[in-house]
Amino acid sequence: MVDHFLDSSASTPGVPPDVSPWRVSVAPMMDWTDRHCRFFHRLITRRALLYTEMVTTGALIHGDVPRHLRFNAEEHPVALQLGGSEPADLAQAARLGTEWGDNEINLNCGCPSERVQRGAFGACLMAEPQLVADCVKAMVDVVDVPVTVKHRIGIDKVESYDFVRDFVGTVAQAGCHVFTVHARNAWLKGLSPKENREIPPLRYELAHRLKADFPALTIVVNGGITTIGQMQDQLQHVDGVMVGREAYHNPWVMADWDACFWGDNPPQPTRDAVEEAMVVYMDRQTAGHGTPWAHMARHMLGLRNGTPGARRWRQVWSDHHLKGLPATEVMARARAVLA
């Protein structure tokens, strides 16, 4: 089952060889897109680019590197998102990422949380484009994978297109050729991170203008995109689409991505097969690393959304009274309630 997903680099009949590697991706999401989540997502889509949770430079330089950077070979392609604002620290962290096998290094210039702001990185960096350029240059100089930036279209009440255009133009000169544009402003005061994903209005047209003004750059749009139809519409204007919470809460939306966006036609996995492969993985992680299966199973709770018995199935996998059982037994009980 898992072997079917390993070769994500093979050429695809009917898809031009110059299709962007950033055509479709799953967003970095704190506390969610850990390596277990990414393994699960890779069971559903073998083509989409998967991003790590944001990892701060301090966590890598002074913390447990394997805990933050270890991932499964099946997850490729994987992009490491970094949080930081010191060029030398980012260069050291980027080098570590490539040593561990990440396919891309991404700098977070979009997170608006106060905790991130206290660290002087995230969305507040958009006010200092030359510093971001210096950070990018420091990383470009030490790694041989793409260095990319994820950012907003503005901060606070700054809604002028010129602001984001000048930011991208400055950073591009430092060697960044891929920009993922969350098409909302980030309000640095007064809104929670959740509110920052919902209240500032989406303005996709600014991302479209960036692509028109910088045709040589790869522009990926992010924010509020949930359906294949919306993705296809955006790809008429930009090079790629990044999907966030919809991919996490309703992961089966990814089941058609490979066929729709890359022309892949291998046998499509079933939900049963994905669940079974995930249980094999959970057993392996529990035996090899002592990771409780519940820590991994949480990522697949949306697998059967919209199907008969989904709520009861989800309740079984979420039942803390069953945590002492092996995952295979829990799966058997969960399957029983579907009958």
Mean pLDDT, residues 324-339: 94
Q: What is the pLDDT of residues 96-114, one digit of tens each?
A: 999 999 999 999 998 877 7
- At residue 119 the predicted structure's pLDDT band, cuts being 50, 70 and 90, is low
Residue 295 has pLDDT above 80, yes or no: yes
Mean pLDDT, residues 257-267: 90
Q: Render the burial of 28-65: b for 16+ CB within 10 Å, e for the rest.
A: bbeebbbbbbbbbbbbbbbbbbbbbbbbbbebbeeeeb
- 2-11+18-262 in CATH: which number? 3.20.20.70
- At residue 116 the predicted structure's pLDDT band, cuts being 50, 70 and 90, is low
Residue 10 has pLDDT above 80, yes or no: no
On average, the pLDDT of the chain sits at 91
Mean pLDDT, residues 131-154: 97
- At residue 270 the predicted structure's pLDDT band, cuts being 50, 70 and 90, is very high
pLDDT computed for residue 120 by the predictor: 67
Residue 2 has pLDDT above 60, yes or no: no
Mean pLDDT, residues 296-315: 97
Which residue, among 159, 211, 201, 157, has the nearest Cα to 180 in the 3D structure? 211
Residue 3 has pLDDT above 90, yes or no: no
Mean pLDDT, residues 241-259: 97
**Measured over all CA atoms, what is the biggest interatomic distance in the chain, rounded to whole angstroms?**
60
pLDDT computed for residue 121 by the predictor: 75
CA–chain centroid gap for 108, Å, is 12
Cα distance between residue 203 and residue 136, in whole Å: 26
Ranges of each domain in the chain: 2-11+18-262, 271-336
Which residue, among 40, 99, 48, 115, has the nearest Cα to 72 in the 3D structure? 40
Say yes or no: do domains 2-11+18-262 and 271-336 share a fold.
Answer: no
Backbone angles phi, psi at 81, to 5 degrees: -95, 130
Catalytic pick among 37, 111, 124, 135: 111
Q: What is the pLDDT of residues 59-98, one digit of tens each?
A: 999 988 998 999 899 999 999 999 999 999 999 999 999 9
**Out of 1.20.120, 1.10.260, 3.40.50, 1.10.1660, which CATH number does the structure's domain 271-336 have?**
1.20.120
Q: Which residues contact 97 (CB under 8 A, 6 or more apart)?
A: 69, 80, 82, 105, 143
Q: What is the pLDDT of residues 149-204, one digit of tens each?
A: 999 999 988 889 999 999 999 999 999 999 999 999 998 887 787 888 888 899 99
Examine the residue annotation and report whether 109 is marked as an active-site residue of this protein.
no
- At residue 4 the predicted structure's pLDDT band, cuts being 50, 70 and 90, is very low
